[in-house]
């Protein structure tokens, strides 16, 4: 089971939803980086459960502990090990599905592939694992900030409710001022009510998270198999519940002609080569071109719903699965920091790979 991502800035996550702890080992982080514990905790707080009535009511402080790799507030260039202890497990909530396969979950595939599975909250397949990614992503953000790179994600869609304005017309800082993390307060309130009503019905709803990255210079990314957009796509699709990824013009670009889609070059007043438009999403030929990088990530409705569903058990016999436990009716509000974290991990890795290529 691969639990490692990255080439030079590499992470390995470990732990299960209802085990003693989850955690991450970061290998390849340069020495001397100021290790801002308050910032890392802030990022974890953005992802943690129990933030509002439209998120799971599992109560986890998600406070992290540093086991290695940091001394006197700075990274040492050695592996950084972080753990987050689980404190609010209710494993009894999952006893009824010990031998049942929940629809659209990883139960059946894990059982078939490995011959056993941890049914308590989904074990390793639980989105609880993403807390470790957010912790590692926060360290990557600290590294990227030194390079002038900023990452901002936000909720652009919940179900059929869509934020139609492009990111350039939005104050993205407003995304952190409401429970949905949508930068348009009016639409955010509509989304909140939509999610809450879905929750009351014992159902779930999907959505979309947009992400904008500024400050990436020209040259990050590899030209063939490790294209920057390919790595971003892999990173996003590795997040629980993600069903789609597009960058730049995305699927809408398929409706355009080349004369409409091409990003024409010009030289600005500083002598920098720019593009008049940004259908490329800041990436051309798999390499950053200096413009804003932007992409969208689609999340499916949460698979666990508080309604009875037909399924089968480990013996292939028909059963009725009853939804129990504590689950998000919509994952996108808490997915925003996860999307940012995975983008940061990709970009930190590409930054270091580009440095090596220039030596």
* Cβ neighbour number for residue 102 with a 10 Å cutoff: 20
- Report the alpha-carbon distance of residue 307 to residue 202 in Å, rounded: 6
Q: Which two tokens stand for residue 314?
A: 């480990």
Q: Determine whether the annotation assigns residue 285 to a binding site.
A: yes
124 is annotated as contributing to ligand binding: yes
Consult the annotation and say whether 32 binds a ligand: no
- Report angle CA 9, 14, 17 to the nearest 5 degrees: 135
Establish whether 300 is an annotated binding residue. yes
Helices 332-358 and 37-47: crossing angle in degrees, nearest 10, is 140
Nearest CA to 62 among 87, 36, 80, 35? 87
86 in a labelled binding site: no
Annotated ligand binding at 47? The verdict is: yes
Distance CA 255, CA 326 (A): 42
List CB contacts of 103: < 8 A, sequence separation 6 or more: 303, 309, 310, 311, 321
3-state SS, residue 313: strand
Q: Percentages helix, strand, coil for the chain, rounded to the nearest 5?
A: 35, 25, 45
353 marked ligand binding residue: no
Q: Does the annotation flag 240 for ligand binding? A: yes
Q: Per the annotation, does 227 bind a ligand? A: no
**Residue 304 annotated as binding site:** yes
244 Cβ partners below 8 Å, 6+ apart?
296, 297, 298
53 is in an annotated binding site: yes
Strands (DSSP E) contained in the chain are 4-5, 10-15, 21-27, 64-68, 70-71, 74-75, 80-85, 150-158, 161-162, 207-214, 242-247, 265-267, 273-275, 283-284, 287-288, 293-299, 309-312, 318-321
Q: Is 91 annotated as a binding residue?
A: no
User: How many Cβ atoms from other residues are within 10 Å of residue 90's Cβ?
Assistant: 13
Annotated binding site for FMN: 124-126, 240-241, 285, 300-304, 326
Annotated binding site for NADP(+): 47, 53
Annotated binding site: 47, 53, 124-126, 240-241, 285, 300-304, 326
């Amino acid at each position: 089971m691969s639990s490692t991502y990255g080439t030079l800035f590499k992470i390995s996550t470990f732990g299960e939803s209802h085990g003693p702890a989850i955690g991450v080992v970061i290998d390849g982080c340069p020495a001397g980086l100021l290790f801002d514990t308050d910032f890392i905790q802030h990022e974890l707080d953005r992802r943690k459960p129990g933030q509002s009535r439209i998120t799971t009511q599992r109560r986890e402080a998600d406070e992290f502990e540093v086991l290695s790799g940091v001394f006197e507030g700075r990274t040492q260039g050695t592996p950084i090990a972080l753990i987050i202890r689980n404190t609010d497990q209710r494993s009894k909530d999952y006893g009824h599905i010990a031998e049942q396969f929940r629809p659209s979950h990883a139960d059946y595939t894990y059982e078939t592939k490995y011959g056993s599975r941890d049914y308590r909250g989904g074990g390793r397949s639980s989105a609880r694992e993403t807390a470790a990614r957010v912790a590692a992503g926060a360290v990557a953000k600290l590294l990227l900030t030194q390079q002038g790179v900023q990452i901002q994600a936000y909720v652009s869609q919940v179900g059929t409710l869509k934020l139609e304005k492009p990111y350039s017309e939005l104050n993205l800082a407003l995304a952190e001022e409401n429970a949905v993390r949508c930068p348009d307060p009016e639409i955010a309130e509509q989304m909140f009510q939509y999610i809450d009503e879905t929750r009351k019905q014992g159902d779930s709803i999907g959505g979309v998270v947009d992400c904008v990255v500024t400050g990436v210079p020209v040259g990050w990314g590899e030209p063939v198999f490790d294209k920057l957009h390919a790595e971003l796509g892999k990173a996003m699709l590795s997040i629980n519940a993600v069903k789609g990824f597009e960058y730049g013009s995305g699927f809408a670009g398929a409706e355009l002609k080349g004369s409409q889609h091409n990003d024409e070059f010009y030289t600005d007043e500083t002598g920098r080569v720019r593009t008049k438009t940004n259908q490329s999403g800041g990436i051309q030929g798999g390499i950053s071109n200096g413009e804003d990088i932007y992409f969208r990530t689609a999340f499916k409705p949460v698979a666990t719903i508080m309604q009875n569903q037909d399924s089968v058990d480990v013996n292939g016999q028909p059963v009725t699965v009853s939804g129990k436990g504590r689950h998000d009716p919509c994952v996108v509000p808490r997915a925003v920091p996860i999307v940012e974290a995975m983008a940061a991990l990709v970009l930190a890795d590409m930054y270091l790979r580009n440095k090596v290529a220039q030596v």
